[in-house]
Amino acid sequence: MSVPADGWLMQFYRNPLTEVVRFFETFHSKSYLIINACPEIPYNEAAFRTGQVERFEVKDHRPPPLAELLRFLAVAQAWSAKCRQNVTAVHCRGGKGRTGSFCCSWLLYTKEAEDAEDALNFFALRRTDLEKKRLSKVQGVETPSQVRYVGYVDRLLREQMAYLPAPVSVPCSEEVLLDSVNATEFFTEQFELQFRGHHLVAVLQDASSGRSLASSLGQGTGNSKVWPFGTARLSGDVGLVVYTCHPDGLPADREQAAALISEGAWQGSRKCKIKEAFGCFFHVNFLDGEVLKIPTAEVDQACKRPELFRPKGMLSLAFKRA
């Protein structure tokens, strides 16, 4: 479900909090658990008088960190094991991306789905009102990175043979060194025209905490770019986010400019704000080989902007084992 609307304006397009509470208190009194995966929109959780609310800190349009996905499986399993009548409801902002990531993980854990693709398809079809003719597509998990993480859960469950009610172990952390990021045949002519003279800054983040790890200014012209990182040390959940920004007001030194943007100390000039162009999220433990290749169709934001990013482009991340 989507986030309950606690304010009067949001109630025009979301279910009012009072109605959501009434539903659960009427049909599932004392036997419901709400998974709140929408930290950006707080509401009065105490309104759910006889139920429980469990918070998960997941940013919008991001995949839940692997540890949070596994914590969800443990919480939901413990709740359902207490009583056969217990139900679990998951919500984020709109009830698709983050909610779908949690729900698909549960479908895999309970073996209601055969694999990640089956879980994603099942959720999308159940989430979509197929009788609404104006809908152009099914309403499933939103971003390629969220889809990638559902695949991680599928792979982890198979490797550990850990299905309901067995516990799932968080894998031991592995480390890699990122040498560079290359975008090959990636940008269209329209992108070059629209962002001519702009910096392309790639920022590596610890996706669990949001902390910036390293940054680099893009080099090269035309439809291909490279971001050298040297030996950036990575582990666990990692985010790679590329920003566009005009150099007005930035230091001439490229490393200093990239560092300011990475640390959030510079948000752009008055006329030219810093904008998130594209990115991807991954977990180091699931890297196979020394190069992670991600086609445009599996890059967040870029997959939805064919006028700016070539459909047959490739994002390549070159690693070395630490």
Return d(Cα 40, Cα 43) in angstroms, integer: 10
The reported pLDDT for the residue numbered 230 is 86
What lies within 8 Å, CB to CB, of 254 at 6+ separation is 217
209 has pLDDT over 60: yes
Distance separating alpha carbons of residues 200 and 253, to the nearest angstrom: 14
Instruction: Starting at the earlier edge strand, list the strands of the sheet with 275-283.
Output: 211-217, 199-206, 237-245, 275-283
Q: How far apart are CA 92 and CA 99, in angstroms?
A: 6
Known catalytic residue at 280? no
The pLDDT tens digits for 133-145 are: 565 577 889 899 9
Q: Where are the domains of the chain?
A: 10-160, 175-321
**DSSP secondary structure string for all residues of 120-185:** HHHHHHHHS-TT-TT--S-----SHHHHHHHHHHHHHHHHHT--TTS--PPPPP-EEEEEEEEEES
Return all residues near 221 (Cβ < 8 A) that are at least 6 apart: none
Neighbours of 195 (CB within 10 A): 17
Catalytic pick among 92, 103, 104, 245 = 92
Residue 128's pLDDT band, with cuts at 50, 70 and 90, is confident
> Can you say how many angstroms the Cα of residue 305 is from the centroid of all Cα atoms in its chain?
18
Per-residue pLDDT tens over the stretch 252-297? 565 665 666 665 545 555 555 678 999 999 999 999 999 999 999 9
pLDDT at position 164 over 80: yes
| Segment holding 320, helix H or strand E | strand 314-321
What is the architecture of the domain spanning 175-321? Sandwich (2.60)
Range of lowest pLDDT (162-176, 215-229, 284-298): 215-229
Residue type, 113: A
End-to-end CA distance of the chain: 42
What's the predicted TM-score (pTM) here? 0.92
% of the chain at pLDDT higher than 90 = 72
What's the CATH class of domain 10-160?
Answer: alpha beta
Domains 10-160 and 175-321 share a fold: no
237-261: pLDDT as tens digits: 999 999 988 777 565 565 665 666 6
Q: Would the CA dihedral through 63, 128, 52, 6 be positive or negative? A: positive
Q: What is the mean pLDDT of residues 174-182?
A: 95
